[in-house]
């Protein structure tokens, strides 16, 4: 009986060494106009993208982002919400909206954070996930990059 057990163990080990490792595929996302993007959960096993620094950063994010559906606002500012390691959502916003979300006067370029719980609720019931006071100066949360004024 012990010999059969050792033979089975040897066969299992031999087969395990011959089998290639299965790698998880990266998830890609494709959206159509009107689809909801939040809450965003787009897992990826690829290395996170590290956008270039200014002045190329705005052009890079604009080219890599999806448009936040159903929002029309004066394009005083561009808001980019990073909802995965590879994906951003671009949302136009007015300076007054950015000020209400962050609680401070918007600068030409700034990095803020949106807590994960904010993806799941709409406090003011206006159909937009970004609500007053939800953008924070420090994490944890999704990175939110805002470009206003002269950087556009």
Query: Residue 51: how many CA atoms within 13 Å on its side-chain side?
Result: 21
Q: Kindly give the pairing relationship between strand 142-148 and strand 88-93.
A: unpaired
| Residue given tokens 């980019």 in the structure block | 80
- Please give the backbone phi and psi of residue 144, each rounded to the nearest 5 degrees, phi first: -125, 115
Measured in residues, the chain has a length of 152
Ordered mean pLDDT values, 10 residues apiece, the chain (152 residues) = 91 89 58 49 64 81 79 77 80 84 80 76 66 74 81 54
Residue 43 confidence (pLDDT): 56
At 10 the three-state DSSP class reads: helix
pLDDT value at residue 46: 67
Given this model, what pLDDT does residue 63 score?
83
The pLDDT score that the predictor gives to residue 8 is 93
Q: What is the pLDDT of residue 10?
A: 93
What pLDDT, on a 0 to 100 scale, did the predictor assign at position 39? 45
DSSP 76: T
pLDDT at 20 (0 to 100):
82
Instruction: Output the pLDDT for position 9.
Output: 92
């Amino acid at each position: 009986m012990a010999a059969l057990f050792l033979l089975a163990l040897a066969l299992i080990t031999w087969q395990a060494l011959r089998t290639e490792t299965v790698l998880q595929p990266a998830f890609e996302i494709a959206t159509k106009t009107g689809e909801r993007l939040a809450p965003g959960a787009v897992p990826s096993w690829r290395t996170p993208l590290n956008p270039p620094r200014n002045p190329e950063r705005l052009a890079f994010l604009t080219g890599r982002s999806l448009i936040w559906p159903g929002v029309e606002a004066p394009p005083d500012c561009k808001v980019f919400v990073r909802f995965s390691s590879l994906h951003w959502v671009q949302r136009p916003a007015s300076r007054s909206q950015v000020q209400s979300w962050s609680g401070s006067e918007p600068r030409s370029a700034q990095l803020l954070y949106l807590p994960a719980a904010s993806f799941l609720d709409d406090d003011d019931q206006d159909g937009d996930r970004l609500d007053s006071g939800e953008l924070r100066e420090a994490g944890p949360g999704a990175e939110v990059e805002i470009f206003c004024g002269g950087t556009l």
